Amino acid sequence: MHTTQDGRAWEAVGRLEISGEAFCTGALIEPRLVLTAAHCLFDPTTGERVAVEDIQFLAGWRHGRAAAYRRVRSAAPHPDYVYTGGSSTDRVRHDLALIQLQHPIRNTTITPFATDAQPGKGARVGVVSYAHNRSEAPALQELCQVMAQQDGMLVLSCAVDFGASGSPVFSFDENDTPRIVSVVSAKAQANGQPVSLAAPLNDLLPALHDALANSGDKGAGLTTMAAGTRRDTGAKFVKP
C-alpha cells in the first residue's frame, strides 16, 4: 500500500496554483481531467470566478519541481454548487469541480486514479494533500475513518489545514489499491476534535462532466483574483 510519506508515490496528485497567490490540491482522474473542490475556482474576496488562464496544475509538485506542468483549458463547478448563499452543508455536498487541462498528461510515472463509490461509516480512508505545513510535497496522512454521513456529506476524522481544499480522499480495496471516493471541502470541529468535511462523488461525476462539456469556459470575462499577499484558498470553518 502507498502509505509512504514520499510524494513520489502520489505523482497524479498535484498543486493547483491560482493566480500565483493561492493554491489548492487536485488529482488526475483522466489524463486531461483534474478533480478538485468547486470553491477553489472562486476568488474568496470577490466571490467571482477565477480566470482559467490564471490556474496551473503542477502534477507531483515536490520541492520546487513538478513531474508535469499544465495550463487549464476549461473548468466547471458542480451545477448545484453555490459559492455564496445556501447552507454550509449544501455547499459542502456539491463542492466538486472538474478542470480540463490544455494538454493531457501522458507520463509513465503519472497514472490517473480510478474513482469508487461512497464509503460507509467506519470505512478506512486516507487524504493526500498539499497544505501550508507541507506545501512543497504531497503526503498521505495517517489513515482515518468516515465518522458519519451527514446531510449528504462525509465527516472524516482526518485533520486538514489550509491548502488541503480539493484534496482527494482515498479508499483502499483488499489489495490496498487507492481509489478516489471524495474530495476535501472544509475543516471543522466535532465534539471539540478537528475533523474534515468532504463531498462524496456518489452519482455527481456525470453532472460534472456535463457541466464541463457545456461550460464554454475559456476564461474570457472572468475576474482574476486580486493581487496581494499570497494566501491559501483554504477550507472554510464550519461545524457539523
Q: Domain spans of the chain?
A: 10-112+203-234, 124-200
Q: If we measure between CA atoms, which residue out of 24, 44, 52, 75 comes closest to residue 185?
A: 24
Q: Average per-residue pLDDT in the chain?
A: 82
Least confident of 2-11, 19-28, 127-136: 2-11
Q: Would you say the CATH fold of 124-200 matches that of 10-112+203-234?
A: yes
pLDDT score of 232 more than 80: no
pLDDT score of 237 more than 50: no
Band of residue 229 on the pLDDT scale cut at 50, 70, 90: very low
Q: Cα–Cα distances in Å, from 65 out to 50, 58, 59, 230? A: 24, 8, 9, 19
Q: Indicate the length of the chain as a whole number.
A: 240
Least confident of 96-110, 111-125, 126-140: 126-140
Burial class (CB in 10 A: 0-12, 13-18, 19+), 27: buried
CATH architecture of the region 10-112+203-234: Beta Barrel (2.40)
Q: What is the pTM of this model?
A: 0.86
Question: For residue 219, what pLDDT is reported?
Answer: 42
pLDDT score of 141 more than 90: no
- Per the DSSP assignment, residues forming a β-bridge with 238 are 188
How far out from the chain centre does Cα 2 lie? Answer: 19
- Per the DSSP assignment, residues forming a β-bridge with 178 are 172
C-alpha cell recorded at residue 217: 469556459
Least confident of 5-19, 22-36, 77-91, 156-170: 5-19
In CATH, what class is 124-200?
A: mainly beta
Question: For residue 151, what pLDDT is reported?
Answer: 84
